[in-house]
């Protein structure tokens, strides 16, 4: 049993891992495709490599980032699926919402991977870790469904839990679990791990973290984006395992690699930084169907309309925009998504339209629908205040007009003030030449 008796009073981190989540989400109900070589097609085949790949494709030498020509040369039978980040993000977002409804404070930077601290949740499950994990698996089955096998890694640190989740047996195989535990943790800990009734679960006690990591390849450090270059350099220097890295002097690593070397040293010894749970989402979005997908002029005008609609939403409450996400539903299948973070939070519609128009250059194919969403807001007054003693009558007039627009909308609704917007003056259909859009608050 996974009771707290076998653990010291330290943080207990649970890693939730769904291998090949992106591919499984894209193929939908066609899970049999994962049994063969499969990869996510690049958005731009001339400049980008393939995305996530299935295990059979990895066995043939195809890795994420491999150029499409090289991938097809190594694996001629490779099948491609169009990228659809909107579908993947929506499915994984629903899974994270499920974990948060159970009381977990979740950290997640990649689809199919999440971390949360189990200490505060054990009291809701009689202090038993196996009951908590069984509840999490049952609840995730409603959102993840048959997308993939949910694996759990439990340890006092994030990096150790992640490694344990990757090594956890995928089936309810007691003998194989005991064999893995015996090799990695020793005979004493093998009994505790092998006695678990849960499939695809591996628990690393605090006293066994260093021994668990000692035999692992140093390339595992590349799981952390900031250590990808450091992991490659360590391999070139002949440091093969994390145990070899942990045996090096800490001062030597700091002198040679700087902060990255210190972080790698701490990870190899089973220590890690604290979790950073995600903030509660406060998302507003606007979408627009495009009657002529291939028209660049129409795309730019559509962006202007989306910006005006976002700025007119009452949920904004006069705040500036800090993080925006522009996505498109492509006519060729799949979707496209780009994240825009201005240098400073702003509510200037002209500046936002300029930033969004630049991102359209990476649009891989014609789009039939555009969606603009705000993921994070900034302060209400991000602009620098005027210098004392100077009076700008034009700015005063603009501020009074914006306040009048807000008051009218608050009293009569969001559609109370509209203006005529020339969407496509040269269109043959009169209804496309001009549209009514919300009057901007500026």
Q: Looking at residue 47, what is its pLDDT?
A: 65
- Does the pTM surpass 0.75? The reply is no
Across 34-43, 190-199, 248-257, 404-413, the highest mean pLDDT is recorded for 248-257
Mean pLDDT of 92-103: 89
Contact 15, 55 (CB under 8 A): no
- Residue with the larger pLDDT of the pair 216 and 363: 216
pLDDT of residue 5: 39
CA 256, 260, 261, 262 torsion: positive or negative? positive
- The more confidently predicted of residues 268 and 429 is 268
CB neighbour list of residue 289: distance below 8 Å, 6 or more residues apart: 368, 369
Specify which of 127-131, 186-190, 258-262 reaches the highest per-range mean pLDDT: 258-262
Confidence of residue 83 (pLDDT cuts 50, 70, 90): confident
Greater pLDDT, 318 or 154: 154
Ranges 17-31, 244-258, 371-385: which has the least confidence: 371-385
- Predicted pLDDT of residue 6: 39
- Distance between CA atoms of residues 84 and 384, nearest Å: 40
pLDDT confidence of residue 119: 86
* pLDDT given at position 13: 92
User: CA–CA separation, 136 vs 133, rounded Å?
Assistant: 5
Each residue of 289-311: pLDDT tens digit? 887 766 677 788 888 889 888 88
Mean pLDDT of 335-345: 87
**Residue 384 predicted with pLDDT over 70:** no
Whole-angstrom Cα distance, residue 266 to residue 272? 6
pLDDT greater than 50 at residue 426:
yes
CA angle 36, 66, 294 (to 5 degrees): 90
Q: Is the pLDDT of residue 189 over 50?
A: no
The mean-pLDDT minimum among 70-74, 151-155, 399-403, 437-441 falls in 437-441
Low-confidence winner among 72-76, 258-262, 277-281, 287-291 (lowest mean pLDDT): 277-281
- Provide CB contacts within 8 A for 231, sequence distance 6+: 218, 219, 220, 221, 222, 264
Residue-range domains of the chain with CATH: 4-18+112-214 (no CATH), 218-268 (no CATH), 284-382+393-438 (3.30.1490.100)
pLDDT band with cut points at 50, 70 and 90 for residue 264: very high
Q: Give the per-residue pLDDT at 242.
A: 92
Give the least confident one: 91-95, 143-147, 152-156, 253-257. Answer: 143-147
pLDDT for 282 equals 78
The answer on pLDDT for 438 being more than 90 is no
If pLDDT is split at 50, 70 and 90, which confidence band does 357 have?
A: confident
Q: Does 20 score more than 90 pLDDT?
A: no
Whether residue 196 has pLDDT greater than 60: no
- Nearest Cα to 46, choosing from 19, 16, 22, 68? 68
pLDDT of residue 21: 86
pLDDT digits 0-9 by tens, 270-286: 888 888 888 877 788 88
Residues 6+ apart with CB under 8 A from 259: none
Whether the pLDDT of residue 348 is over 60: the answer is yes
Q: How confident is the model at residue 355 (pLDDT cuts 50, 70, 90)?
A: confident
- Provide the pLDDT confidence category of residue 113 given band limits of 50, 70 and 90: very high
pLDDT at 68 over 80: yes
388: pLDDT strictly greater than 80: no
């Amino acid at each position: 049993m996974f009771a707290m008796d076998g653990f010291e009073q330290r943080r207990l981190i649970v890693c939730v891992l769904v291998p090949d989540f992106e591919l499984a989400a894209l193929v939908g109900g066609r899970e049999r495709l994962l049994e063969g070589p499969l990869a996510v097609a690049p958005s731009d085949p001339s400049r980008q490599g393939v995305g996530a790949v299935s295990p059979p494709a990895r066995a043939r030498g195809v890795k994420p980032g491999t150029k499409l020509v090289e991938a097809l040369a190594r694996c001629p039978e490779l099948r491609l699926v169009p990228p659809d980040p909107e579908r993947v993000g929506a499915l994984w977002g629903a899974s994270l919402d499920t974990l948060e409804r159970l009381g977990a404070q979740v950290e997640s930077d990649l689809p199919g991977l999440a971390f949360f601290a189990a200490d505060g949740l054990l009291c809701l499950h009689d202090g038993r870790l196996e009951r908590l994990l069984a509840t999490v698996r049952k609840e995730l089955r409603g959102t993840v469904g048959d997308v993939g096998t949910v694996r759990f890694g439990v340890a006092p640190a994030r990096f150790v839990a992640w490694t344990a989740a990757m090594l956890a047996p995928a089936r309810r195989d007691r003998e194989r679990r005991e064999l893995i535990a015996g090799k990695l943790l020793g005979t004493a800990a093998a009994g505790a791990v092998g006695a678990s009734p849960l499939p695809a679960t591996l628990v690393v006690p605090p006293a066994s973290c260093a021994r668990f990591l000692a035999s692992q390849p140093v390339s595992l450090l590349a799981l952390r984006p900031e250590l990808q270059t450091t992991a490659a350099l360590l391999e070139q220097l002949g440091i093969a395992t994390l145990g070899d890295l942990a045996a090096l002097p800490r001062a030597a690593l700091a002198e040679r690699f700087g902060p990255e070397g210190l972080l790698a040293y701490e990870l190899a010894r089973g220590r890690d930084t604290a979790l950073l749970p995600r903030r509660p989402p406060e998302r507003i979005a606007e979408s627009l169907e495009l009657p002529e997908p291939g028209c660049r002029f129409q795309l730019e005008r559509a962006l202007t309309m989306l910006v005006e609609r976002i700025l007119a939403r009452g949920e904004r409450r006069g705040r500036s925009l800090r993080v925006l996400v522009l996505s498109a539903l492509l006519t060729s299948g799949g979707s496209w998504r780009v994240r825009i973070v201005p240098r400073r939070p702003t509510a200037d519609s002209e500046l936002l339209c300029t930033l969004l128009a630049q991102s359209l250059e990476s649009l891989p194919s014609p789009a039939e629908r555009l969606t603009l969403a705000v993921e994070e807001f900034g302060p209400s007054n991000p602009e620098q205040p005027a210098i004392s003693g100077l009076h700008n009558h034009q700015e005063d007039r603009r501020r009074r007009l914006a306040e009048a627009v807000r008051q009218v909308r608050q009293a009569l609704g969001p559609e109370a003030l509209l203006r005529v917007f020339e969407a496509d003056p040269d269109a043959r259909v009169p209804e496309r030449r001009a549209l009514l859009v919300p009057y901007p608050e500026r």
